[in-house]
Amino acid sequence: MTAALTIRTLGEVAYAPAVAAMQRFTTERNADTADEIWLLEHPPVFTLGTNAANEHVLDAGSVPVVQTDRGGQVTWHGPGQLVVYLLLDLKRLKLSVKSLVHGMEAAVIAMLHDYGIEARCEAGAPGVYVDGDKIASLGVRVKRGRCYHGLAVNVSNDPDAFSGINPCGYQGLKTLRISDLADPADTAEVATKLLPHLLRELQLEGAEVTNSQSEWQPV
């Protein structure tokens, strides 16, 4: 049977409602539920993963700090950053968590190559890096073989956005954006370039795809 996939382009979405919607979707889905990919941006927010230490928030200022249920440490989301949430049945796709993480990283690296940017993974530090500086982060949660959360790619966000934290729990880790290295791009363009690589790497290349583009509504 051909896999089904819904790709939702949702615009700007507040962080907490998006997480609540992902949790609800994952809890309520069944063996026949189509997988979904959500493409969006968030208003500025610092998020703390399940392994996060509060001391890595150095100066949040007016930016909200939210505890969440993905893996990993502390990161920033906000305008100019592409967020990709993957709501996938890993058992049905025959994907291990390790393969999921590798697939996300490989897709981002391939997309950056399309921009002429040479990127790589770093051993023991999930995400994608350019000369040691982080350009994309990832964190997932898996329940009963189904995942949610996903990845974030810095496109044209505020260059000082991460200055209030130790990104991903690493003191002195520098972050950079696609716009630092290539012609200015917006998140919509980056999403268009990234999706084919994601579908290939996550065993979804032959899926029957439905595209949905609208302002945020709880899913």
- CATH number, position 105: 3.30.930.10
How do strand 208-213 and strand 4-12 relate by DSSP bridges?
parallel
Residues 111 and 53: their CA atoms lie apart, in Å, by 32
Whether residue 168 lies in the annotated active site: yes
In a domain, 87, yes or no: yes
User: Exposed (0-12), middle (13-18) or buried (19+): which is 15, by Cβ within 10 Å?
Assistant: buried
Structural domain span for residue 169: 4-213
In a domain, 27, yes or no: yes
- Say which of 106, 151, 165, 168 is annotated catalytic: 168
In a domain, 168, yes or no: yes
Give the chain's domain count.
1
* Residuewise pLDDT in 10s, the chain (219 residues): 467 999 999 999 999 999 999 999 999 999 999 999 999 999 999 999 998 888 999 999 999 999 999 998 999 999 999 999 999 999 999 999 999 999 999 999 999 999 999 999 998 889 999 999 999 999 999 999 999 999 999 999 999 999 999 998 888 899 999 999 998 779 999 999 999 999 999 999 888 999 988 766 665
In a domain, 219, yes or no: no
Residues 176 and 169: their CA atoms lie apart, in Å, by 16
Neighbours of 55 (CB within 10 A): 10
In a domain, 167, yes or no: yes
pTM of the predicted model over 0.85:
yes
In a domain, 207, yes or no: yes
